[in-house]
Chain A
Amino acid sequence: MSLIELHYEVPGDDFTRAGEASGDVKRQLKQLGFEPATIRNVVIALYEGEINMVIHAGGGEIDVSIDPDRIRMVLRDHGPGIPDVALAMQEGFSTAPDNVRALGFGAGMGLPNIKKYTNDMQIETEIGVGTTMYLRVDV
């Protein structure tokens, strides 16, 4: 059992609510006294994950476990899955539609940013079933 466990539902196709989970986690980590650099790593990874869920997967759910020495996040969706994870991990590769790009997303930075700002990132994905990401940021 972690110090604090948080759960969020991410609604699909609603860009106005994307960022609510990461914003709330940021507030909680601040209150708990985590270093700004740690908070930044967590919220960047989490926000990218939220946006991916909204763009590609029709929403999903996020669980965050906070311990003094690490923050773990599980992001689970029931979207289409990722056909080629290695390709999706490349900076600049994107399958986001034009209307999403017009909002400033779809630069192909989502998964690369998540990897960059976490200490561990594991992706389980199955076509037609969904994707689960396991992320860990060490303090």
Chain B
Amino acid sequence: MTVREFAEMQNLNILVEADMTRDISGGYCGDLLSWVMSRAQSDDCWFTVMGNINAVAVSVLADCACIVLCENAPLDEDAKKKAEQQDVNILSSDKNAFVLASALGAVL
């Protein structure tokens, strides 16, 4: 499933559109950046409430397919700029991480 397909399926808001054709092969939920960085896998969809610039860096280094900000967690302005520079897809939803990850798990 591509990032765009998942976004459409769950009515996600697109905050930063980079490569929406990128495939999602798994998911990861977490907000502690060191924890996420060492455990999230390449092409994971990362569900978090961390919308800061460091989350963007972690997504790049862990090579996540996209960040999904859950429960309408805000995206900082400098994080948005960084994500645009580094081609990081960022989406958001009013749903929580459990609901979104369950939906993704059901279709992967």
Q: Please give the residue numbers on chain A whose beta carbons come within 8 Å of chain B beta carbons, in ascending order.
A: 15-16, 18-19, 22-23, 26, 36, 40, 43-44, 47-48, 51, 103-105, 107, 109-110, 113, 116-117
Contact = CB atoms under 8 A, between A and B. Distances in A.
B61 A26 contact: yes
**Could you tell me the dominant secondary structure of chain B's interface residues?**
helix
A44 B54 contact: no
B38 A103 contact: no
Interface stretch (B2-10, B11-19, B27-35, B90-98): B27-35
Contacts, number: 68
B57 A44 contact: no
Given A16-B82, A109-B35, 4 more contacts: A15-B52, A23-B86, A47-B37, A105-B32
Nearest to B49: A104
B25 interface: no
A101 to B, nearest CB: 9
Interface of A is mostly: helix
A104 B31 CA distance: 6
A26 B34 contact: no
B72 interface: no
18 contacts: A16-B53, A18-B54, A19-B54, A19-B60, A19-B61, A23-B57, A40-B63, A44-B38, A44-B62, A47-B37, A48-B37, A51-B54, A103-B50, A105-B54, A110-B34, A113-B34, A113-B37, A113-B38
A6 B38 CA distance: 24
B12 to A, nearest CB: 21
A45 to B, nearest CB: 10
B24 interface: no
Contacts of B58: 47
